[in-house]
Amino acid sequence: MKRKNASLLGNFLMGLGLVVMVVGVAYSVLNQLPQLNLPQFFAHGAILSIFVGAVLWLAGARIGGHEQVCDRYWWVRHYDKRCKRNHHSS
């Protein structure tokens, strides 16, 4: 896949994941209001959609080449002296 197409597909998947997550959170919150009478059957699907949206977001970031933030945190966690577990207390 060409770089431009990969970037477009990645951005599309990231946007779709964001929309799916926001809709899932919104339905979960609105489902708690008794005056709306929303079906409880879809409440579990709304919770699942948050995770599906996160997976879409991560897949889009991987395809589009936006995973540098994750790499940066990995670098900080493994090579920053403040984040290492082997502190010597004096």
pLDDT digit string (tens) for 34-85? 888 888 888 888 989 999 999 999 888 888 876 665 566 666 666 666 656 6
Kindly provide the b/e burial profile for residues 52-85, where b requires at least 16 CB atoms within 10 angstroms of the residue's own CB. Answer: ebeebbbbbbebbebeeeeeeeeeeeeeeeeeee
Q: Classify residue 85 by its DSSP letter.
A: S
pLDDT given for residue 89 in this prediction: 52
Comparison of pLDDT for 18 and 84, the residue scoring more: 18
pTM over 0.75, yes/no: no
> Comparing C-alpha atoms, which of 27, 52, 25 is closest to residue 41?
27
pLDDT given for residue 87 in this prediction: 53
pLDDT given for residue 90 in this prediction: 47
